[in-house]
């Protein structure tokens, strides 16, 4: 009887260990592929408000006009090292002189990014098209503050 109980206990232990390993692997995968960013400021109002958070997928997935992306600020010494903007134009798109800073179309591997609240946004209107090297990821879900 004692031998049977020991076999059952070992089987339960292996199931527990395998389940724990699977959960740990899922957490490592999620941490490497996903991120959460806090919204600070008014540049994306009314879509995103200060205090909101966004869940984003890390990496350079397919970026289209209208996507909201997370990127490192292209402005040296910026007080906001990470910015969240909407993609207004992708490589090859024609752009106005105001947004393109002298270029007629968006160069290869660049994006034109704008805040939804133009009066309160530091974006491509000030710094021109942004290299995709600054891209951190693409938002996949907006999370309202509690």
Candidates 61, 73, 85, 124; catalytic one? 85
- Residue of 9, 20, 43, 73 marked catalytic: 43
138 catalytic? Reply is no
C-alpha separations of 85 from 2, 28, 30, 43, 89 in Å: 65, 27, 23, 8, 12
**Alpha-carbon distance 54 to 24, whole Å?**
23
* Pairwise CA distance, residues 70 & 108, whole Å: 19
Edge-to-edge strand order for the sheet containing 68-72?
A: 34-38, 53-58, 135-143, 68-72, 82-90, 110-114, 130-131
Any idea which residues carry the catalytic annotation? 43, 85
């Amino acid at each position: 009887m004692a031998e049977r109980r020991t076999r059952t206990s070992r089987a339960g232990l292996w199931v527990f260990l395998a389940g724990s390993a699977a959960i740990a692997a899922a957490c490592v995968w999620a941490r490497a592929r996903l991120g959460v960013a806090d919204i600070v400021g008014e540049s994306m109002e009314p879509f995103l408000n200060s205090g909101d958070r966004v869940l984003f997928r890390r990496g350079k997935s397919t970026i289209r006009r209208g996507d909201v992306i997370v990127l490192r600020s292209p402005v040296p010494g910026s007080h906001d090292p990470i910015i969240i903007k909407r993609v207004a134009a992708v490589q090859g798109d024609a752009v106005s002189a105001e947004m393109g800073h002298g270029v007629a179309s968006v160069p290869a591997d660049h994006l034109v990014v704008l805040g939804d609240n133009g009066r309160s946004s530091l974006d491509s209107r000030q710094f021109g098209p942004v290299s995709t090297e600054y891209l951190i990821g693409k938002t996949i879900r907006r999370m309202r503050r509690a």
